[in-house]
Chain A
Amino acid sequence: MSDAALPDGVERREIDGTRRLATRGEPVYGEPTADGWRAWNPERSKLGGMLELGLETGLTGGETVLYLGAASGTTVSHVADFAGPTYAVEFAPRPARDLLDAAASRDRLFPLLKDARKPETYAHVVETDVDAIVQDVATRGQSDVAVRNAEFLADDGRLLLAIKARSEDVTADPETVFEGALDRLRETYEILETRRLDRYHEDHLGVVATPR
């Protein structure tokens, strides 16, 4: 549980009597705060879970990020707190309304109502050579989405992916699903680290990868 793997701008702070991951920014979803730091709940955020479990995300703070599957902005708001320009792609209009609220106080968080399976519909907006792609989309073909979006990632960039087994196949054994997904990823990425996120997210695999 060392803090070495945490990017600048993410710290363990004493909030409500416990040491918790936190970033500095406007609260978004009613999370507890202390001294301007807002608690980052690893049970509500796959990336939060990956950081809490000590995965080597390669994030240092200040980087350019493409976030796929931003939903209501819970996680992406924390990312924008410590990162640089952050592109937040979300497909569904209902959560996108909350995403707009989360983005309002963050002037380098760019909300985009786009389908992550169709990168050509936002390639005219999102720049190349982003330092990290964070992906949390709950659709089938999660690896495909990561592969299609590889064109945005810098050669030494990081893909931080949470694979949800149930989105691929509710009946199959999660291990089998993860293996299939990783095989597809290996066509484009080199897998650096994987870790089950079950402590916070059941049947999810956290993946850190870099372009081949």
Chain B
Amino acid sequence: MSDTDAGPDANAASDGGGGWFEALPSDAADGNDIETESDDDATAAAAARIRDGTAPAPDDWPARAVESGFVDDADEYYDRLKAATTRATRDAVRERERADDAQLIHAVRAMDDCERVANELAERAVEWGGSLFDEVDPGIEGAREIAAREPESEVERRAISLAERAVELDGERAALAETIGRIAPAVAPNLTEMAESELAARLIALAGGLDPLAKKPSGTVQVLGAEDALFAHLSGRAPSPKHGIIYTHEFVRGTRPEDRGSAARALAGKLTLAARADHYAGERRERLHADLRERMATIRARADDGGTSDGADDEATTDGGTDDE
């Protein structure tokens, strides 16, 4: 997908702030072309320019396109522009939609599997290696040390090979995390901005998709991932869980324990709204993020005031109103 696909006339250095049609092959160069394939290539190249190009300021592009010989008249210019913008927008929309929530769920589950299996194999390799070589650290780091060795016997070769597999799987886990970091913002821009890619992906995976997540009440989102504790509570054996997977969010974990319930409730409320904005509108909502920052500042300010239980009680009565728009 580069400008140079367009043909011999294409100029590789194309992003100098000119119009989208500059550095694309002109009709004149093709002569009276009847090859639809080259038309298609030209449209693809123009679409790429429309998507990725920039200019410091607009210009009278239709006139410039005629002057430069790109087209014969304004009508032809607009026809070409129509084809190119339609192609560019359709491609961009498809690309964004291919990065859908189902792919995100696969990626986050695969990442968890890689991590679990890598750790299991690493433990085995470290235990085995400990009987053959010097003691090493437990876990992936130990496996890395073993994998760096040169085998001197059949058994060593197997133990070292096993350690290599564990290290490779850990590399796959890191690659999956990177992929999640890239596709999560496209799938759920607001949720990702609020929760970071991994937590956003986990919430979507726990709910079974962005659509089911968007339909869950905030109280459910608050305890997603704490199902065991929730059912223990429902059967009367335990207190209600304050938070599920959202505990990994800095706003919850970084808040002092007596205020974590409030923090988790406020965060879950905004995450729910973010998921709904992502699912139903798909556009960024600055207001949500500002509201959450404000809310968290208020909750954390309690620690400075020295107030504890009475502040938390006030919270329970007012939160319902402020968390929903």
A contact set with B: CB distance below 8 Å: 85, 91-97, 99-100, 103-104, 107-113, 119-121, 123-129, 138-140, 151-152, 167, 170
Structural contact, B54 and A121, CB atoms closer than 8 A: yes
The answer to whether A139 and B18 touch (CB under 8 A), given A121-B54, A125-B61, A151-B57, is no
Shortest Cβ distance from B96 into chain A, in angstroms? 4
Give the secondary structure class of A's interface.
mixed
A and B contact pairs by CB, cutoff 8 A, 21 listed: A93-B93, A100-B93, A103-B86, A107-B79, A108-B82, A110-B85, A110-B86, A112-B85, A113-B51, A113-B89, A113-B92, A120-B54, A120-B56, A123-B54, A123-B56, A126-B58, A127-B60, A127-B61, A128-B58, A139-B286, A140-B286
Q: Closest chain B residue to A127 by CB distance?
A: B61
A126 and B284 CA atoms in complex are apart in Å by 24
Structural contact, B281 and A92, CB atoms closer than 8 A: yes
Q: Closest chain B residue to A110 by CB distance?
A: B85
Structural contact, B58 and A123, CB atoms closer than 8 A: yes
Give the secondary structure class of B's interface.
helix
Shortest Cβ distance from A199 into chain B, in angstroms? 24
B54 neighbours in A (Cβ, 8 Å): 120-121, 123-124
Q: Closest chain A residue to B64 by CB distance?
A: A127
Q: How many A-B residue pairs have CB under 8 A?
A: 99
Question: Is B81 part of the contact surface with A, judged by Cβ < 8 Å?
Answer: yes
B79 neighbours in A (Cβ, 8 Å): 107
A109 and B53 CA atoms in complex are apart in Å by 20
B86 neighbours in A (Cβ, 8 Å): 100, 103-104, 110-111
Shortest Cβ distance from A110 into chain B, in angstroms? 4
Structural contact, B89 and A170, CB atoms closer than 8 A: no
A152 and B57 CA atoms in complex are apart in Å by 8
B59 neighbours in A (Cβ, 8 Å): 127-128
B contact set with A: CB distance below 8 Å: 17-20, 49-51, 53-62, 78-79, 81-82, 85-86, 88-90, 92-93, 96-97, 281-284, 286-287, 325
A127 neighbours in B (Cβ, 8 Å): 58-62
Q: Closest chain A residue to B49 by CB distance?
A: A124
Structural contact, A112 and B89, CB atoms closer than 8 A: yes
Shortest Cβ distance from A150 into chain B, in angstroms? 11
B92 neighbours in A (Cβ, 8 Å): 93, 96, 113
A110 and B147 CA atoms in complex are apart in Å by 57
Q: Closest chain B residue to A115 by CB distance?
A: B284
* Residue of B57, B81, B93 touching A97 (CB-CB under 8 A): B93
A110 and B97 CA atoms in complex are apart in Å by 21
A111 neighbours in B (Cβ, 8 Å): 85-86, 89
Structural contact, B287 and A170, CB atoms closer than 8 A: yes
Max chain B Cβ within 10 angstroms of own Cβ: one of A91, A128, A138, A167: A128
The answer to whether A92 and B282 touch (CB under 8 A), given A128-B59, A151-B58, is yes
B286 neighbours in A (Cβ, 8 Å): 139-140
The answer to whether A125 and B20 touch (CB under 8 A), given A107-B79, A140-B287, is yes
A95 neighbours in B (Cβ, 8 Å): 282
A109 neighbours in B (Cβ, 8 Å): 82
B281 neighbours in A (Cβ, 8 Å): 92, 94
* Residue of A85, A96, A119, A124 touching B93 (CB-CB under 8 A): A96
Structural contact, A124 and B17, CB atoms closer than 8 A: yes
Q: Closest chain A residue to B284 by CB distance?
A: A139
A124 neighbours in B (Cβ, 8 Å): 17-20, 49-50, 53-55, 58, 61
A78 and B41 CA atoms in complex are apart in Å by 32
* Residue of B51, B82, B282, B284 touching A110 (CB-CB under 8 A): B82
Structural contact, B283 and A92, CB atoms closer than 8 A: yes
B282 neighbours in A (Cβ, 8 Å): 92-95
A111 and B87 CA atoms in complex are apart in Å by 9
A170 neighbours in B (Cβ, 8 Å): 287, 325
A151 and B287 CA atoms in complex are apart in Å by 28
The answer to whether A112 and B58 touch (CB under 8 A), given A92-B283, A93-B282, A107-B82, is no
Q: Closest chain A residue to B291 by CB distance?
A: A170
B97 neighbours in A (Cβ, 8 Å): 93, 97
B61 neighbours in A (Cβ, 8 Å): 124-127
Structural contact, B57 and A123, CB atoms closer than 8 A: yes
A85 and B63 CA atoms in complex are apart in Å by 14
B287 neighbours in A (Cβ, 8 Å): 140, 167, 170
